[in-house]
A and B are shown apart, each in its own frame.
Chain A
Amino acid sequence: MDIYLLIANLRFNTLIIFLCTIIFCSKVVYSESLINIADEEYGAYLAGECLTCHQSKSVTGIPSIVGKDFNSLILMLNAYKNKDLDSKVMQLVAGKLNDEQIASLALYFSNLSPIK
């Protein structure tokens, strides 16, 4: 599951803070306020940048992000944005996304159906 992958990859010194964020904030902040600013059509446009690498199925080196949970996608993108997860490419991509853009991308990808 994404959330376990995320936790496994976190740097130790940010783990505690991050877990607190997940437990105390995720349902309240992400589900209720970010869903309101998410624009799926905008997400579809922004997704163009993701689809240069990410496909509808996972391949060697690049995981699929299609059909993943809205909150997980938001957590992952914020973790890359804050450099809590290692990946030069993803830190670069997420680093310039604001909350509206992150929410829009998460809504777009969470509503797509994965190809088995």
Chain B
Amino acid sequence: MSLISRRSFLAAMATSTALVATPRLAVGGSRPKVVVVGGGAGGATAARYIAKDSKGEIDVTLIEASKKYYTCFFSNLYLGGFRDYQSIGHGYERLSSNHGVNVVHEWASSVDPSARKLTLGSGTTIDYDKLVLSPGIDLKYDSINGYSAEAQTKMPHAWKSGTQVQVLRDQVLNMRKGGTFIMVPPPNPYRCPPGPYERVSMVAHILKNVNPTANIIILDTKTKFSKQGLFTAGWDKYYPGMVEWIDSETHGGILNVNPETMEIVTDLETFKADAACVIPAQRAGSIASRAGLTDGDWCPIIPSSMQSKADENIYVLGDSSVASSMPKSGFSANSQAKVAANHIRGSLTGSKVYEPRFSNTCWSLVATNDGVKVGANYRAGEEKIEVVDKFISTNDEDSGVRKSTFEESLGWYSGIADDMFS
């Protein structure tokens, strides 16, 4: 979409609650084709909503390599022993049986935007009218000296859920008595801003029960973090003396890590871990940069529709996109997917395109029955997604409020899982 047409679009939006987009009718009577890459919170939701709401008018194909998707959200609760592993795994069968989505379990390897073609790992090509890319993150292993894909077994990042979280849990459970767990959170921006600190809470919860003389050191790459006051108050209350947070100015930077010796070298001193979680810097899933959609590490989008600024036939959702104030979270991706789905249906079938509405809430568990949350809703500004209103839990909440916040997060999990996969 050009700058001029984007302005007209926004102007039209400002004067009415709905507008009718010009339909792009399929040639030769065949249904218009939407291809979605990535079956996470962005992609699965987009595929489901486009197929469900178009009632068969649009041919929807979802490309996702894994047959079972293990959510990143709640993987920390598995780590802490609050969920079993199977409960965070979901299949795609109902997207096919309930809504007619074509689910293809393959890697998507490249996009040819000018020919509107997607090539899969097997070499098969698929044509599309609109492409939705929701590939999540890639980890920049070289952002930490000494770290690599191979280092993951010794110092797992466990930032893409799945088996690495199981490895990390085993390593925490098998730490020597009185040992040290080290967390290295990533620099901004990254997937799930409160995630590393919820993870610390969950590790502390385990250690308090099985290894109470152990300690936890956070060697941060930042000088502040999400929900900081809530987490630090929680650590003092539930795990007194166990958790030490050292910011980047104090330790002077992570110089290198050595997975063989389990050492993490900072400008201040060398720390030795018995178990460690090292989370590198991140960037958009590599298919996005290969398609020419990135500016730096991430994909700029048009806020009102989630279309790539580089190609109006491609929509970028979730962690890969530059969503400004919206954090990189499953909730955000799910919210963005509905805006994109509505816009795609409008442009392919002429259905009404309503004003974009975005929201996000991130729940974190600090200890048993003690949940905290931060949330906001957003509007599409001309250049950025902007915050309208927001909230955050407070330290003076009583235990009843914290328990209901945790229970709310359980309800949300089953809600979003249904919203993605049912």
Contact = CB atoms under 8 A, between A and B. Distances in A.
Contacts of A6: none
Nearest to A47: B338
A53 to B, nearest CB: 4
Nearest to A86: B401
Interface of B: 17-18, 49, 53, 331, 334-335, 338, 342, 352, 354, 357, 359, 361, 373, 375-377, 388-391, 393, 404, 406-412, 414-416, 418-419
Contact of A49 (B359, B376, B391, B412): B359
Interface in A23-66: 41-42, 44-46, 48-49, 51-55, 59-62
Contacts of A52: 331, 334-335, 359, 412, 415-416, 419
Contact of B18 (A42, A48, A49, A51): A42
Given A54-B415, A62-B411, A93-B377, 10 more contacts: A41-B352, A45-B354, A46-B354, A48-B338, A61-B409, A62-B412, A62-B414, A88-B391, A89-B391, A100-B17
B365 to A, nearest CB: 13
A48 B340 CA distance: 12
Nearest to A62: B411
Contacts of A55: 414-415, 418
A95 interface: yes
A88 B357 CA distance: 18
A92 interface: yes
B370 to A, nearest CB: 14
A96 interface: yes
Which of A45, A49, A54, A91 has the largest number of chain B CB atoms within 10 A? A45
16 contacts: A42-B354, A45-B342, A48-B338, A49-B338, A52-B331, A52-B335, A53-B408, A60-B410, A61-B406, A61-B411, A62-B408, A88-B375, A88-B393, A89-B375, A89-B408, A95-B389
Contacts of B408: 53, 61-62, 89
Which of A52, A60, A88 has the largest number of chain B CB atoms within 10 A? A52
Contacts of A54: 415
A96 B389 contact: yes
Interface in A79-112: 88-89, 91-93, 95-96, 100
Query: Which DSSP category, helix, strand, loop or mixed, fits chain A's interface?
Result: helix
B377 A53 contact: no
Contact of A92 (B331, B391, B418): B391
B407 A60 contact: yes
Interface of A: 41-42, 44-46, 48-49, 51-55, 59-62, 88-89, 91-93, 95-96, 100
Q: Which 8 A-B pairs have the closest CB atoms?
A: A62-B411, A61-B407, A61-B411, A48-B338, A53-B415, A61-B408, A88-B391, A45-B354
Which of B354, B389, B411 has the largest number of chain A CB atoms within 10 A? B411
A89 B409 CA distance: 11
A49 B412 CA distance: 12
B342 to A, nearest CB: 6
B335 A49 contact: yes
Nearest to A48: B338
B375 A92 contact: yes
Given A61-B410, A88-B391, A46 B357 contact: yes
Contacts of B412: 52-53, 61-62
Contacts of B53: 44
B377 A96 contact: yes
Contact of B410 (A45, A51, A59): A59
A55 B412 CA distance: 9
B414 to A, nearest CB: 5
A92 B18 CA distance: 22
Given A42-B354, A89-B375, A96-B377, A53 B359 contact: no
B386 to A, nearest CB: 13
Given A42-B17, A59-B415, A93 B359 contact: yes
Contacts of A49: 335, 338, 357, 359
A92 B415 contact: no
A71 B412 CA distance: 25
Nearest to B331: A52
Given A62-B415, A93-B377, A96-B377, A48 B49 contact: yes
A100 B338 CA distance: 20
A61 B416 CA distance: 13
Contacts of A53: 408, 411-412, 415-416
Contacts of B391: 88-89, 91-92
Contacts of A93: 359, 377
A59 B331 contact: no
A100 B355 CA distance: 14
